[in-house]
Amino acid sequence: MNAEQLKSSNNFPPAIRVGVLGFGGLGQAAAKLLAAKREMILVAAVDQKGYAYAAEGLNIQECIATYQSQGSVGYLEPVGNLTNHSIQDLIESAHPVDGYFLALPNLPNDFIPSVAKEFIKAGWRGVLVDAIKRTSAVEQLLAMKEELQAAGITYMTGCGATPGLLTAAAALAAQSYAEIHQVEITFGVGIANWEAYRATVREDIGHMPGYTVEAARAMTDAEVEALLDKTNGVLTLENMEHADDVMLEIAGICDRDRVTVGGVVDTRNPKKPLSTNVKVTGRTFEGKISTHTFTLGDETSMAANVCGPAFGYLKAGTQLHQRGVYGIFTAAEIMPQFVR
């Protein structure tokens, strides 16, 4: 019995065949998380220099070891392919994949929307999930709603931690109130070294005063290190352009100017510098002003809080897709489904 049949036995429906686009920090964490799941099977992994595909399921440890030692899953024999157009080549190969998690850098700021366009152009049908962060990037995707609908793609956007888990928690907390006054998201991230999450750190630098997405993208690794040396490895971020605002506005919860996002990222210590939380303040129908606070456990890593929700939304997106519901949805509109 192969891995797929094994996973789908014991009265479980066939496992959802998953591809992970981007095999850096989050992509590898996503693969590790899937290893323990019965309802999903990792069939494709893609990085900048190649991809690996196995219909019966990839050997996750081998994928990670190959990526870390040789720089691309494309070197993995016999399932790897080396190519500079890895995403396009995988889509065009027409290997069956039910849904993809886009764990790609969104550098430049229209990169993930351009990948979505590749899927549409190729006539691919299925579920796409991202953990994209910027408001302006989510807005580009939302503008593609009709194209996605016509293509038969169910696209779930903003489905990481923030935006994602915390935005969804805010949407839930809002139910106690007649009017929402403020949604305040504060995140703490601790990672042992910045190289494990280069795109995340570069994108965060793009939010600092005096920097832009383009400036952060153009920085060499040495320049990033020099900046981190000056701040003792800590990035403090305030009033970030984060899509939690547009997502809560579209969900009809509050105007975007009532939503703020900030946080502290320690790139030299896996311990969180502060507890990640969302505070939702509003007025009840009786006229009482109150605040709900949802705080993540300090032991939970960024990877756990991004990849768990991403696959929860991939499962929810698969159910929508099976019912013929296509287009684009945000993490604030749909409840994620727990993946067993």
SS3 (DSSP) at 34: helix
Site string for ligand NAD, 115-154 (x = CB under 6 A): ----------------x-x---------------------
Closest listed residue to residue 195, CA positions, set 222, 217, 216: 222
Site string for ligand NAD, 26-65 (x = CB under 6 A): xx------------------xxx-----------------
- Would you count residue 244 as binding ligand NAD (CB under 6 A)? no
* Residue 333 annotated to the active site: no
Distance CA 277, CA 185 (A): 6
Distance CA 333, CA 153 (A): 17
DSSP string of 253-304, one letter each residue: SS-GGGEEEEEEEETT-SS-SS--EEEEEEE-TTS-EEEEEEE--TTS-HHH
Distance CA 19, CA 292 (A): 36
DSSP 225: H
* Residue 181 annotated to the active site: no
- Would you count residue 8 as binding ligand NAD (CB under 6 A)? no
DSSP string of 89-108, one letter each residue: HHHHHT---SEEEE-----S
What is the chain's Cα-based Rg? 20
Per the CB < 8 A criterion, the answer to whether 84 and 92 are in contact is no
Amino acid in the structure at residue 161: A
- In the complex with ligand NAD, which residue's Cβ is closer, 15 or 306? 306
Closest listed residue to residue 22, CA positions, set 224, 200, 214, 154: 200
Single out the segment in contact with ligand NAD by CB under 6 A; choices: 16-24, 33-41, 138-146, 211-219. Answer: 16-24
Size of the site for ligand NAD (CB under 6 A): 29
Select which of 7, 49, 207, 272 is catalytic: 207
- Would you count residue 73 as binding ligand NAD (CB under 6 A)? no
Q: What residues between 282 and 321 interact with ligand NAD by CB under 6 A?
A: 302, 306
- In the complex with ligand NAD, which residue's Cβ is closer, 15 or 144? 144
At its nearest, how many Å lie between ligand NAD and the CB of residue 324? 28
Question: What are the residues facing 189 on neighbouring strands?
Answer: 265
Single out the segment in contact with ligand NAD by CB under 6 A; choices: 17-25, 57-65, 210-218, 288-296. Answer: 17-25
- Would you count residue 80 as binding ligand NAD (CB under 6 A)? no
Single out the segment in contact with ligand NAD by CB under 6 A; choices: 7-15, 18-26, 228-236, 325-333. Answer: 18-26
- In the complex with ligand NAD, which residue's Cβ is closer, 162 or 281? 162
Distance CA 200, CA 194 (A): 9
CA count, 13 A, side-chain hemisphere, 129: 32
Single out the segment in contact with ligand NAD by CB under 6 A; choices: 156-164, 224-232, 248-256, 314-322. Answer: 156-164
SS3 (DSSP) at 106: coil
* Residue 207 annotated to the active site: yes
Single out the segment in contact with ligand NAD by CB under 6 A; choices: 97-105, 117-125, 247-255, 313-321. Answer: 97-105
At its nearest, how many Å lie between ligand NAD and the CB of residue 166? 8
Per the CB < 8 A criterion, the answer to whether 158 and 243 are in contact is yes
Q: Which residues are catalytic?
A: 133, 203, 207
Residue numbers of the site for ligand NAD (CB under 6 A)?
Answer: 22-27, 46-48, 86-87, 103-106, 131, 133, 160-164, 197-200, 203, 302, 306
